[in-house]
Structure 1
Amino acid sequence: MCGIIGLHLRDPELHPMLGRLLDDMLCGVSERGPDSVGVAVYGDDRRNPGGQAAVSVLRAPGDLDRSVAALLPGTPDVTASRAGDTTVLTAPVTGETLAAAVTAAAPEALVVGRGDDVVVYKGAGHPQDLARTYGLREVSGWQGLAHTRMATESAINPEGCHPYSVGPDQCLVHNGSFSNHATIRRELERRGVTFDSENDTEVGARFVAACLADGDDLEKALLRLGETFDGFYTLLVTTADGFAVVRDEIACKPAVIAEHPRWVAMASEFRALAELPGIGEARIFEPDPGKVYTWQR
């Protein structure tokens, strides 16, 4: 069982409140997944300064910032901050360049997020404890999502947490199961796509990333996913300018969307949305089976 929350802020006046709103929403789905939590936040200049990229890393050695800086052109300043199991490196280079330097400097480390606007945190433990570890209530920005997990088919560890962030500023969280993921994994591997785990969610995330890299917009990428993947699922996908929700054609996994002039939110349960500002004026609905819902920044 899993819990999903996501919040896309349309009103810049709400940006300083992003972390507090996400933390309140997280309380509403913690019981759905008390084993671990992953969080992604967009637009926090204190964690990912303008003109720089951020890379989130698990299993990072203590001197990673120095060894990465030595591999970058011009040896720029690399800043490292640690929150629980996650180390975030920032530097004035592209996310791809920074991620490649991390992999070269520390092959044992695992890159779990990269981009110009997003920071990803992952860890095992109770969601509310980890939210404090990440300093979630202090976050500002324009978009965020989180995923709580009760592991049923794989180990309880940070590596198994969602979101899966396998493309620049792209994140995907998933409640459900893809039954034909092994077949699709082999097809992607033939195209040169590499994987970090055996998780079916990673297959979905890399499929979406490949579609976006091919030039699809977010809606088309998720329509292609629905045509390709078998199984049951609710997905929330975010990018540097988009926020999208889709369920499979049976729609047995829960999802609720609330749309307000100042924000759009999605959660596995309504109680996660109940304290959002102006919820009484929001349009609240259950997303239709097989339909892709998208919003742009």
Structure 2
Amino acid sequence: MCGIIGLHLRDPELHPMLGSLLDDMLCGVSERGPDSVGVAVYGDEQRNPPGQSAVSVLHAPGDLDVAVGALLPNRPSVTATRTGDTTVLAAPVAAEALTAAVAAAAPDALVVGRGDDLVVYKGVGHPSDLAVTYGLREVTGWQGLAHTRMATESAIIPEGCHPYSVGPNQCLVHNGSFSNHATVRRDLQRAGVSFDSENDSEVGARFVAACLAEGDDLEKALLRLGETFDGFYTLLVTSEEGFAVVRDEIACKPAVIAEHPRWVAMASEFRALADLPGIGEARVWEPDPGKVYTWQR
């Protein structure tokens, strides 16, 4: 069982409140996943400064910033911030260059997020404790998501946390199961895609990332996913373009969407939305089976 929350802020006046709003929403889905939490935030200029990119890393050695800086052209300044299990490196270089330098400097480390507008945190523990560890209430920005997990098919480790962020500024969180993920994995591997785990959710994230790399927008990528994958799922996918939600054709996994002139939000349960500003004036509904809902920045 998992809990999903996502928030896309349309009103810039709300950007300083992103973290506090996400923290309040997280309380509403904590019981659905007390084992671990992953969080992704877009637009926090303290954690991912303008003109720089950031890479989120698990199992980072203590001197990774020094080693990475030595591998980058012109040896730029690299900052490292350790937050629980996650270390975030930031530098004034492209995200792909920073990611490649991390892989070369620390082959045993795992990159779990990268981009010029994105920071990802993953960790094991109760949502309320990890929200404090991540400093969630202090987060600012224009978009964020979180996923709480009760492990049923794999170990309780930071690597098993969602979101799966396998493309620049991209994230996917998943509640459900893909029954044909092994077949899709083999197809992607034949196309040159590599994997970090055996998790079915990573297969979905790699598939969506491949579609986006081919030029699809979020809606088309998720429509292609629905044509390719079997199983049951609720998915929330975010990118620098915005926010998308889809459920499978049976729609057995819960989801609620609320849309307000100042924001759009989704969650596994309504109580996660109940304290959003102006919720009484928002349109609230359960997404239809098989329909992709998208909102652009």
**Counterparts of residues 30-49 of structure 1 (less than 5 Å):** 30-49=30-49
Residue of structure 1 equivalent to 2:185 = 185
Cα offset for 1:146? 0.1
**Counterparts of residues 136-285 of structure 1 (less than 5 Å):** 136-285=136-285
Residue of structure 2 equivalent to 1:113 = 113
Ranges in structure 1 where 5+ consecutive residues have no aligned partner: none
Distance across 2 between alignment mates of 1:13 and 1:22:
16
Distance across 2 between alignment mates of 1:193 and 1:92:
27
Cα offset for 1:241? 1.6
Describe the superposition over 1:145-170 as per-residue Cα deviations: whole angstroms up to 9, x where unpaired. 00000000000000000000000000
Distance across 2 between alignment mates of 1:97 and 1:177:
33
- The one-letter code sitting in structure 2 at the alignment partner of 1:294 is T
Distance across 2 between alignment mates of 1:95 and 1:28:
33
Distance across 2 between alignment mates of 1:168 and 1:244:
16
Distance across 1 between alignment mates of 2:18 and 2:191:
38
Distance across 2 between alignment mates of 1:223 and 1:116:
27
**SS where residue 49 of structure 1 aligns?**
coil
Q: What is the TM-score with the length of structure 2 in the denominator?
A: 1.00
Cα offset for 1:203? 0.1
Aligned CA RMSD, in angstroms, stands at: 0.3
Describe the superposition over 1:243-278 as per-residue Cα deviations: whole angstroms up to 9, x where unpaired. 000000000000000000000000000000000000
Distance across 1 between alignment mates of 2:94 and 2:122:
22
**SS where residue 245 of structure 2 aligns?**
strand
Residue of structure 2 equivalent to 1:3 = 3
Distance across 1 between alignment mates of 2:19 and 2:82:
18
- The one-letter code sitting in structure 1 at the alignment partner of 2:276 is L
Q: What is the TM-score with the length of structure 1 in the denominator?
A: 1.00
Residue of structure 2 equivalent to 1:122 = 122
Residue of structure 2 equivalent to 1:22 = 22
Asked if residue 62 in structure 1 is aligned to residue 62 in structure 2, the reply is yes
Distance across 1 between alignment mates of 2:251 and 2:33:
20
Distance across 1 between alignment mates of 2:231 and 2:163:
19
Distance across 2 between alignment mates of 1:192 and 1:131:
37
For these two proteins, the number of residue pairs brought into alignment is 297
Residue of structure 1 equivalent to 2:75 = 75
Distance across 2 between alignment mates of 1:162 and 1:283:
28
Describe the superposition over 1:8-28 as per-residue Cα deviations: whole angstroms up to 9, x where unpaired. 000000000000000000000
Cα offset for 1:242? 1.3
- The one-letter code sitting in structure 2 at the alignment partner of 1:135 is G
Describe the superposition over 1:23-75 as per-residue Cα deviations: whole angstroms up to 9, x where unpaired. 00000000000000000000000000000000000000000000000000000
Distance across 2 between alignment mates of 1:83 and 1:242:
26
